[in-house]
Amino acid sequence: MALSSAPGKVYLFGEHAVVYGEPAVPCAIERRARVGVQRRDDGKLRVHAEDLSLDGFTVEYDGSTGNGPDVDVSESLLSAAMGYVDGAIEQVRDVTGEDEVGFDVTIESDIPLGAGLGSSAAVVVAAIDAATRELGVTLETAELAERAYRTEHMVQDGQASRADTFCSATGGAVRVEGDDCRSLEAPDLPIVIGFDGGAGDTGQLVAGVRDLRDEYDFAADTVGAIGDVVRNGEEALANGDVEELGRLMNFNHGLLSALGVSSRSLDTMVWAARDAGAHGAKLTGAGGGGCIVALDPTPETETALSFTPGCEDAFRAELTENGVTSLE
Ligand SMILES: Nc1ncnc2c1ncn2[C@@H]1O[C@H](COP(=O)(O)OP(=O)(O)O)[C@@H](O)[C@H]1O
Ligand SMILES: C[C@@](O)(CCOP(=O)(O)O)CC(=O)O
Ligand SMILES: [Mg+2]
């Protein structure tokens, strides 16, 4: 049995645009997914995922025959739910050369699913790390991040960046532009998160931006403008200028909103944070529903969010330097 954990993240800047080669700056936060993996020799993959929205289920199926699990939910819901774990195991089989190996996989996570905090990347990174170690193979962090990226790329229909997976694998604040992934020095940021209790489908939201970008030059320009905001944001981060970071986050939110990936509840939480005196606020991740990230050293934003209709949970998030971690 091998057990690994990996962190979720918030985007200070650059989600969606990063899929088209613009830079992005996500930061790992101290909310983690833990994945336990035990080898089985019958080739089956058995996944126990208490937090998955199919009401906490356990499925068992034979990965070698391609037969799906025997649960009573629609095919599309199931493939969306299982795709990341299945994909991670495919990568493990590929990188270890053990094509027929099966696993019992147990997932526990304190990252809400589909909410923009990178639950998918954390689960994939932790799963690949635990499963390879279970087979006696230790991957370098760069290789692990690359395999996790390939998983997200496959599940999200060929549209994904390396940002979430690299950030989850290494921890800390990172900068990703295409295949150039590096760690950044970041000050201790006063991060507050608001969560509307909802979720968005990353694959669908990414496809929506892609279509807009294909149809309208001004949508392509908007993606480019997000890249400009990120480049300014990197400078503000390096200078520890939290006020400027906040202004740029506000700008970034406006551009994401123009690309159609915000929602009424995300906008409401963003405005509640701004009205409470936050330096700035924006949605984080794919959008559609889920979380916003705000910067506020005072307790005002967290308090205001906790009284905002449509905000189900408001909490502070600590940046973490701990990326993927082997627990057993
Ligand atoms: N605790 C978990 N157990 C099993 N699968 C999970 C878990 N957390 C996330 N996932 C997988 O990740 C998907 C959500 O990823 P995504 O839509 O990219 O949103 P995000 O990465 O912002 O949380 C889920 O549908 C599921 O496939
Ligand atoms: C929208 C996107 O930029 C980030 C998605 O983040 P999340 O899965 O919503 O946490 C997609 C990607 O980078 O692969
Ligand atoms: Mg994701």
Residue 196 falls inside a structural domain: yes
Taking each helix axis from N to C terminus, what angle separates 119-134 and 163-170, rounded to the nearest 10 degrees?
A: 60
> What is the structure's pLDDT at 259?
98
Of the ligands numbered here, which is closest to the C-alpha atom of 32? 1
- If asked whether residues 118 and 245 sit together in one domain, one would say no
pLDDT at 241: 97
The reply to whether 214 and 157 lie within a common domain is no
If asked whether residues 180 and 199 sit together in one domain, one would say no
> What are 275's two structure tokens?
């009205």
44-49 and 102-109 beta bridge pairing:
parallel
Domain match, 134 and 68 both: yes
pLDDT averages per 10-residue partition of the chain, 328 residues: 98 98 98 97 88 60 56 60 91 96 94 94 98 97 97 90 98 98 95 96 93 98 98 97 98 98 98 98 98 98 98 97 96
**Residue 123 and residue 207 in one domain:** no
209 and 291 share one domain: yes
- Last residue within a domain, chosen from 184, 215, 241: 184
Examine the domain organization and report whether 9 and 104 are in the same domain.
yes
What confidence score (pLDDT) does residue 175 get?
98
Same domain? For 109 and 171 the reply is yes
CA 34 to chain centroid, in Å, comes to 15
Say what the pLDDT of residue 199 is: 92
Element (H, E) at 173: strand 173-177
- Written as one letter, the residue type at 8 is G
Are 255 and 221 a contacting pair, CB within 8 Å? no
pTM: predicted TM-score of the whole model, two decimal places: 0.94
Closest ligand 2 atom to residue 153 Cα is 14
Closest C-alpha to ligand 1, atom 10:
120
In sequence order, the 6+-apart residues with CB closer than 8 A to the CB of 239 are none
- Tell whether the torsion through CA atoms of 304, 310, 312 and 313 is positive or negative: negative
Residue 102: what pLDDT?
95
CA distance 301 to 292: 12
- My answer on whether 83 and 148 are in the same domain is yes
Q: Please check whether residues 256 and 223 belong to one and the same domain.
A: yes
The residue among 184, 219, 245 that closes a domain is 184
Name the residue among 47, 36, 31 with its Cα closest to residue 129: 36
Last residue of a domain, one of 128, 155, 184: 184
Residue 313 falls in the annotated catalytic set: no
Please indicate, yes or no, if residue 322 is contained in any of the structural domains: no
- Model pLDDT, residue 59: 59
Which helix (H) or strand (E) segment holds residue 102: the answer is: strand 102-109
**Domain count of the chain?**
2
Largest CA distance in the chain: 58
309 is a domain residue:
yes
Amino acid at 272: A
Neighbours of 83 (CB within 10 A): 18
- What pLDDT sits at residue 60? 60
Neighbours of ion ligand 3 (CB under 5 A): 120, 202
- CA 107 / ligand 2 centre spacing (Å): 21
CA distance 317 to 250: 19
Q: Which of 206, 213, 230, 283 to mutate to test the pocket of ligand 2 (most atoms within 8 A of CB)?
A: 206
ipTM over 0.95 threshold: yes
CATH number, position 212: 3.30.70.890
- Whether residue 24 lies inside any domain: the answer is yes
Q: Is 207 annotated as a binding residue?
A: no
**Residue 50 and residue 105 in one domain:** yes
CA distance 159 to 61: 28
Domain assignment of residue 294, yes or no:
yes
Establish if 8 belongs to a structural domain.
Answer: yes
Q: How many Cβ atoms sit within 10 Å of the Cβ of residue 115? A: 24
Residue 128 lies in a domain: yes
118 annotated ligand binder? yes
Angle at 243 between CA 284 and CA 32, to 5 degrees: 35
pLDDT of residue 157: 83
Q: Which atom of ligand 1 is nearest to the CA of 156?
A: 18
Beta carbons of 159 and 20 less than 8 angstroms apart: no
Which of 86, 129, 164, 296 is an active site residue? 164
Structural domain including 26 reads: 2-184
Q: Is the domain of 228 the same as that of 148? A: no
